[in-house]
Amino acid sequence: MAKFILIAVFMVVLITNFASSEVAASSGVVVGSSNPKEEGNKLAMVQEEEDMDGGFSSLDGMLQWAIGHSDPGVLKERSEVAQRMSPEELNKRQTELKELMEKLKMPSDAQLMLIAVNDLNNSSLPLEHHLRALEELLVLVEHIDNAIDLQKLGGFSVLVRILNHSVPEIRTAAAWVLGKASQNNPIVQKQVLELGALTMLMKMMKSHTTEEAVKALFAISALIRNNVNGQSLFYQEAGDTMLQEVLSNSNLDIRLHKKSLFLIADLAESQLENENTAEVSFFSNRLLLKAIVDSMASSDLDLTEKALYAIKNILLLRSTEVQLFKDFCKLNEVLERTRQQLNDHREEYAMDVESLRKEVNLTFLQKLNKVTQAAL
Ligand SMILES: *[C@@H]1O[C@H](CO)[C@@H](O)[C@H](O)[C@H]1NC(C)=O
Ligand SMILES: *[C@@H]1O[C@H](CO)[C@@H](O)[C@H](O)[C@H]1NC(C)=O
Ligand SMILES: *[C@@H]1O[C@H](CO)[C@@H](O)[C@H](O)[C@H]1NC(C)=O
Ligand SMILES: *[C@@H]1O[C@H](CO)[C@@H](O)[C@H](O)[C@H]1NC(C)=O
């Protein structure tokens, strides 16, 4: 019985919403896109979690939404009718409804994306339509197949174009969608890079709204992660200066510091894996190195850990000038200060960070020894 009423309610909703001419264009409904991407890395998982929000990831959520948006009078009337029916009548109605539901068919993801892209591309539509279209795309592009379909629909050129929108919320949401779609997806990365998104995203880092800068940095990282071309472009566009400025500005949101350190560790790792390609001067920017080292002494354990990872990876690079770490960054002193700070923490996590700190100290001393001996 309860199940039947649920179906009946659902049907009313389907008929009143989906059969109307506005259909999914105005619905904000997204179904079947709960496919979290695999992430081999704990840090990446944490970051991914931080970035999740909004959208309908389940049918249940959609139903709640649909009920909230339909005419309560109609719903009440329908359920009262249902309560007066005999079991036979109910069975018959149930069969009819099932058949009707199959006929109605939900719109496919590709159709939803097409509608969203058309809405986004239509500047005469009000702002809410654009925001809703972006929200829908945000959920849809989590599916790797959808991200590739979106490319075929010409969606990325529209998204990149609106990175230049005059409203910060629109720019922010567009960056978020582009980042989501580019994550672990070389095909999308390539196209979005070719459309010139990186320069625009880097410009967005200067935004006065924190959320815009956070989403821009998220998108930058997603675009250049494991992507050698994207990384070269980032280096050409003075990515080192951009990251150094973020890390040196203590007024900025801590999420920006964390994301920057995460990206730096990732870039160094990428260089380690491609030792044959000419190493860029990125990690000889002494101001950047100093900003990374100084981040280590934060009272935020997570930030300390991310800084340590970044330093470890940079120290492993052949071209790194270890003397710079010693003389200019005062790595010795900051490591010692961090040791004392970690001592004050009681969490188990602090012990993990401390062992990473010891590892960095060791790597540092070994590299320093090598250089000193070579000089003898
Ligand atoms: C843009 O939206 C307006 C208002 O809904 C509509 O009249 C117009 O046809 C749309 N333009 C395109 C190109 O779809
Ligand atoms: C966006 O609209 C323009 C015309 O205003 C059109 O030329 C272009 O093809 C549209 N792009 C997409 C992806 O729909
Ligand atoms: C961004 O907007 C400015 C002016 O609003 C315009 O001059 C510039 O060409 C636009 N850039 C892109 C990539 O659309
Ligand atoms: C670094 O390691 C060396 C050798 O184990 C040790 O003597 C030194 O105290 C360590 N320094 C810090 C800051 O942990």
DSSP character string of 215-242 = HHHHHHHHHHTT-HHHHHHHHHTTHHHH
277 and 231 Cβ atoms separated by less than 8 Å: no
**What is the rounded distance in angstroms from the CA atom of residue 163 to the CA atom of residue 281?**
29
User: Same topology for domains 109-237 and 238-376, yes or no?
Assistant: yes
From CA 65, how far away is CA 44, in angstroms rounded?
31
pLDDT at residue 227, as a whole number:
95
What is d(CA 185, CA 180) in angstroms, rounded to the nearest whole number?
9
Task: Determine the Cα–Cα distance for residues 89 and 30; give it in Å rounded to an integer.
Answer: 33
Rounded CA-CA distance 363/320 in Å is 12
CA distance 107 to 111: 6
Find the 203 Cα to ligand 3 centroid distance in Å.
12
pLDDT of residue 255: 96
Give long-range contacts, CB 8 A cutoff, 24+ apart: 163-168: 163/197, 163/200, 163/201, 163/204, 164/200, 167/127, 168/207, 168/209, 168/211, 168/212
User: Would you state the structure tokens that stand for residue 156, as one six-digit string?
Assistant: 């990325």
Nearest protein CA to atom 8 of ligand 3, as residue:
164
| DSSP per-residue codes, 131-158 | HHHHHHHHHHTTSHHHHHHHHHTTHHHH
**What confidence tier does 45 reach under pLDDT thresholds 50, 70, 90?**
very low
Query: Is any atom of ligand 3 closer than 6 Å to the C-beta of 171?
Result: no
Lowest mean pLDDT among 11-25, 183-197, 271-285, 300-314: 11-25
The pLDDT-based confidence of 319 (bands split at 50, 70, 90) is confident
- Please give the Cα distance from 188 to 246 (Å, whole number): 27
Q: What's the fold here for domain 109-237?
A: Leucine-rich Repeat Variant (1.25.10)
pLDDT, residue 226, reads 93
Query: How many other CB atoms are there within 10 angstroms of residue 214's CB atom?
Result: 23
**151/154 Cα distance (integer angstroms):** 5
**Shortest-distance ligand to the CA of residue 126:** 1
**Rounded-to-5 percentages of helix, strand, coil across the chain:** 75, 0, 25
The arithmetic mean of pLDDT across residues 159-175, rounded, is: 96
pLDDT at 98: 75
Task: State percent of the chain over pLDDT 70.
Answer: 74
CATH architecture assigned to 238-376: Alpha Horseshoe (1.25)
Residue 103: pLDDT above 70?
A: no
The CA-to-CA distance between both ends of the chain, in Å, stands at: 87
Mean of per-residue pLDDT scores for the chain: 81
Amino acid at 234: F
Q: Is the CB of 123 inside a 6 Å radius of any atom of ligand 1?
A: no
Tokens of 264: 């730096």
Gyration radius (Cα) of the chain, Å: 26
Predicted local confidence at residue 291, as pLDDT: 97
- Confidence band (pLDDT; 50, 70, 90) for 279? low
- Single-letter amino acid, residue 369: N
Mean pLDDT of 240-260: 96
Q: Residues 6 or more apart from 94 whose CB is under 8 A from it?
A: 4, 7
Q: Considering only CA atoms, which residue is closest to atom 7 of ligand 1?
A: 124
Query: What pTM was estimated for this model as a whole?
Result: 0.75
Token pair belonging to 166: 């005059």
> What ranges make up the beta strands (E) of 197-300?
none
What digits encode the pLDDT tens for the residues 193-240?
Answer: 999 999 999 999 999 999 999 999 999 999 999 999 999 999 999 999
Q: Are 293 and 325 in contact (CB under 8 A)?
A: yes
Mean pLDDT value across residues 102-117: 81
Query: Which residues are near ligand 2 (CB < 6 Å)?
Result: 117-118, 121, 154, 158
pLDDT of res. 62: 43
Rounded to 5 degrees, φ, ψ at 253 are -60, 140
- Domain positions in the chain: 2-24+50-104, 109-237, 238-376
User: Ligand 3 pocket, 164 CB below 6 A?
Assistant: yes
Q: Tokens 């062992």, residue?
A: 355
Query: What's the pLDDT score for residue 239?
Result: 95
